[in-house]
Amino acid sequence: MQSLWLITQLLVCLFLGFVFARRLPNWLEKLAFKILPYFTYILLVAIAVEFSQTLHSIAHPEKILSNALIIATMTSVGAFLVCYALFKLIGVKPTSGRVSPELLVKSLINISYAFIALAVGYGLAEFSGYLGYQLHLSTWNLLLVFMFLIGLDLAYSPLNRSWLNWKILLVPIGCILGSLLGAFVSLYLVHGIGFKDLIMLSQGYGFYSMTGIVVSELKNAELGSVALMNDLFREIIAILFMYIIGWRYPRSAISSAAATAMDVTLPMVKQACGNEFIPHAMVSGFILSVLAPIAVSVLAAL
């Protein structure tokens, strides 16, 4: 019953953000969109504080990173390969494009900000503990605010009905099926995580600011830490795929980018793959951004 209530809260906040878009006072909307790009870092600081407080009770913390890296690699590669196979079956040939080293460096710097935020949160928690004070930040309440802001953002996303054709929908389908395939392969490579939990972790789609908190609330802090790092690694792998091979297989690269294709990796889609693939990124990112909190919450509650 508690799990259902938590899931309902997430969906209600997402829905309210979508509904109230364009109905809020102009100054409040502008403030919301100014806060949104930085809110992820606030969430990550809060997550790191909670992670620090549970780290001492975890027997082998190094397994968190290794397991997360394996799951992220398998699900990202799985999404890429399944999407490639789907488009190959319908006769779509590889394309071409160009890349920019400057944009790659800028994107990796943006990813580094996420790790800096985690380091800041961890440092604050450790320092406050050293002073004899236990720092506490409500990650759940912050997540609810974040979901409201995401709802606002989704309402303003320039989606077009003409984009919703069956070929474009193969991109998110490839990500979903490939992520499940990656979870199955990970079963033989990771230790201490059951198949049901691997499936749950595979459905985060790079939405790291959400999955870590939800899994921590509904499962446990250790698994929540794996979820957080898994989706951070997925975002990094997506950036690498986009520039290493995305110019040749743009749809597959977008599929591996999962939910991030709509925001973080969208500039890379435009630059490395071409403007004609922006609809693929927007539609896939939108679908997976909405699906991720639902899938992770439901699977974590089972």
In order of 86, 207, 238, 267, 272, the CA distances from 99 in angstroms are 25, 25, 15, 11, 5
Decide: 215 and 187 in contact? Cβ < 8 Å: no
Helix 250-257 with 221-244: angle, nearest 10 deg: 160
Give the separation between CA 130 and CA 124, rounded to whole angstroms.
Answer: 10
Average pLDDT, the chain: 83
* Cα–Cα–Cα angle for 6, 42, 179, rounded to 5 degrees: 60
DSSP 86: H
pTM of the model: 0.78
Q: Model confidence over 4-44: pLDDT tens digits?
A: 676 678 778 888 988 888 788 888 888 888 888 788 788 88
Find all residues with CB under 8 Å of 291, minimum gap 6, and list them. Answer: 172, 176, 203, 205
Query: Both tokens of residue 174?
Result: 């490839």
Specify whether the CB–CB gap between 283 and 163 falls below 8 A: yes
Give the tokens for residue 69.
């890296």
How do the domains of the chain map onto residue ranges? Answer: 2-301
Q: Residue with structure tokens 């394309």?
A: 95
Structure tokens at 248: 């040749």
pLDDT at 1: 46
Digit-coded pLDDT (tens) for 109-165 = 777 887 888 889 889 988 888 888 878 777 778 878 888 888 888 787 666 666 667
Looking at residue 277, the DSSP 8-state letter turns out to be G
How many angstroms separate the CA atoms of 271 and 158, rounded? 18
Among residues 252, 286, 261, which one has the least CA distance to residue 83?
A: 252
Instruction: Yes or no: say if 285 and 266 are a contact pair by the CB < 8 Å rule.
Output: yes
Asked if pLDDT for residue 262 goes beyond 50, the answer is yes
* Six token digits for residue 59: 């027997």
CB 45 within 8 A of CB 132: no
Residue among 66, 120, 45, 109 nearest 230 (CA): 66
Gyration radius of the chain's alpha carbons:
19
> 73 and 181 in contact (C-beta within 8 Å)?
no
* Predicted confidence (pLDDT) per residue in 162-178, tens digit: 666 788 999 999 999 99
pLDDT reading at 69 higher than 80? yes
Count other Cβ atoms within 10 Å, centred on residue 273. 26
pLDDT of residue 161: 66
